[in-house]
Amino acid sequence: MVDTLLPEGVQPAPSRGALEAGWEEFHRAFERQAVGRLRLGLRAALFVAIWVAPVLIGRVPPITLYGRETRERALEALERSRVYALRQLFGLLKLTVALCYGADPEVRQAIGYPFQHDDPHRVGGP
């Protein structure tokens, strides 16, 4: 489902999607390190995206049964939902995926984001 939000090859550089940028590892670290309410919010957001979004376009869940086009329509419907809580959960999901993507060293290098002084990927001194 995450690859629907940020698919591989959409941008010329970097061409990595969220899955290729390390979503699985990021998600595990997020579950260990994020505060309880944020973890609960992400779990709820993932549940809504997987099980509720398809229903919004008249499809049977889970969203993983469908190809990219249908998944995109389902997530767009979730984003435009009249139910405020669903829109907020989708926003949290997009934010979390964006944090994962932005944490990837290849992505940071491609967009010209400078390494921070304490970044373990930084080569050389300050």
83, part of any domain:
yes
- Is 116 within the bounds of a domain? no
Asked whether residue 123 is assigned to any structural domain, the reply reads no
Q: What's the pLDDT at 96?
A: 95
Q: Please, are residues 106 and 14 in contact by the beta-carbon 8 Å criterion?
A: yes
Query: pLDDT at position 121, please?
Result: 66
Q: Give pLDDT, residue 104.
A: 85
8 Å CB contact between 45 and 87: no
Domains: count for the chain: 1
pLDDT of 31: 95
Q: According to the model, what pLDDT value does residue 112 have?
A: 75
Task: Determine the pLDDT at residue 119.
Answer: 73
Give the C-alpha separation, 18 to 106, whole Å: 12
Query: pLDDT by residue for the chain (126 residues), tens digit each?
Result: 777 766 776 666 667 788 888 899 999 999 999 999 999 999 999 999 999 999 999 999 999 999 999 999 999 999 999 999 999 999 999 999 999 988 888 887 777 777 777 777 666 655
Q: What is the domain range of residue 36?
A: 2-6+17-111
The pLDDT, as a whole number, for residue 120 is 72
How far from each other are the two terminal CA atoms of the chain, in whole angstroms? 39
- State residue 123's pLDDT score: 67
Q: Is residue 92 part of a domain?
A: yes
Three-state SS at 104: coil
Angle among Cα 110, 30, 15 to the nearest 5 degrees reads: 25
